[in-house]
């Protein structure tokens, strides 16, 4: 049997939970009861695997069709050198805009040689993998399958633009694990760079050393800048496989 005090509390609770009338006869709903389930903001992020597999695809657009006004004649064999792709931990592990080119980057940009740059990457504790593809003449593509870790999830790629004194194209430190989530697809146009190590003019290579060497920059030579303005040299797509 309810006591007088218990009955009063029960009646008070029932009244406070009931809808209340407001001006005009409309009924206002009561506030949500504490403990009632409700959702605020986005769904929580699902736990992410420690590793993920990706395909890195380099697509080159350096042909009379893509650069009709600026590409050197076919007889001078326009192409890109064997691309070097690395997966690594920190930004700028392969090269840095505004810094001097390493011997490996210099050799890649001037002659297309990859051995010195591969050696630098293998000696860098921040680098997990390094791969080398084959040259591309005209339009074409090369793909590399890699496994990334959450703590080593950046991708860099470089290739010499030929013929040229020391020009190269690539992407620098593209992040693939972002804000705690593995990206499904990452895509970026190739950036154009001058290694700052050879001063020959135009699309030629004559081994005219720049003394002193200059920092890596965007296109400095007029012909290189015109070609860059005419169209991109290609792009990189990084697609998750698993």
For residues 22 and 118, the answer to whether their CB atoms sit within 8 Å is no
pLDDT of residue 125: 98
Structure tokens at 43: 């769904």
| pLDDT > 70: percent of the chain | 82
pLDDT of residue 27: 43
For residues 205 and 163, the answer to whether their CB atoms sit within 8 Å is yes
pLDDT of residue 74: 82
* Whole-angstrom distance, CA of residue 82 vs CA of residue 190: 15
The residues, any chain, with a CB within 8 Å of residue 36's CB and separated by 6 or more, are none
pLDDT tens digits for range 125-143:
999 999 999 999 999 999 9
Classify domain 51-240 at the CATH topology level: Immunoglobulin-like (2.60.40)
pLDDT of residue 45: 74
pLDDT band at 14 (very low <50, low <70, confident <90, very high): very low
pLDDT of residue 35: 40
For residues 140 and 78, the answer to whether their CB atoms sit within 8 Å is no
pLDDT of residue 169: 99
3-state secondary structure of 174: strand
* Whole-angstrom distance, CA of residue 98 vs CA of residue 102: 12
Q: What is the mean pLDDT of residues 169-175?
A: 99
Decide which of 207 and 242 is more confident: 242
pLDDT of residue 64: 95
Quick one: 234 exposed, middle or buried, by C-beta within 10 A (0-12, 13-18, 19+)?
buried
* Whole-angstrom distance, CA of residue 101 vs CA of residue 172: 14
3-state secondary structure of 51: strand
């Amino acid at each position: 049997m309810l006591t007088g005090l218990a009955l009063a509390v029960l009646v008070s609770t029932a009244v406070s939970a009931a809808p209340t009338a407001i001006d005009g006869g409309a009924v206002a709903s009561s506030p949500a009861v504490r403990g009632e389930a409700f959702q605020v903001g986005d769904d929580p992020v699902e736990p992410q695997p420690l590793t993920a597999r990706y395909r890195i695809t380099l697509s080159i657009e350096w042909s009379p069709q893509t650069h009709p006004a600026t590409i050197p004649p076919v007889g001078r064999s326009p192409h890109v050198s064997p691309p070097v792709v690395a997966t690594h931990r920190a930004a700028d592990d392969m090269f840095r805009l505004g810094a001097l080119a390493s011997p490996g980057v210099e050799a890649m940009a001037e002659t297309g040689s990859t051995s010195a740059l591969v050696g630098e990457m293998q000696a860098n504790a921040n680098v997990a993998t390094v791969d080398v593809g084959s040259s591309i003449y005209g339009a074409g593509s090369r793909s590399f399958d890699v496994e990334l870790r959450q703590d080593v999830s950046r991708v860099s790629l470089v290739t010499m633009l030929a013929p040229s004194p020391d020009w190269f194209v690539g992407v620098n430190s593209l992040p693939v694990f972002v804000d705690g989530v593995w990206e499904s697809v990452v895509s970026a146009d190739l950036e154009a760079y001058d290694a700052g190590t050879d001063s020959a003019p135009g699309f030629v290579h004559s081994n005219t050393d720049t003394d002193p060497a200059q920092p890596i920059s965007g296109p400095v030579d007029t012909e290189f800048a015109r070609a860059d303005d005419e169209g991109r040299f290609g792009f990189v797509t990084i697609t998750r496989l698993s």
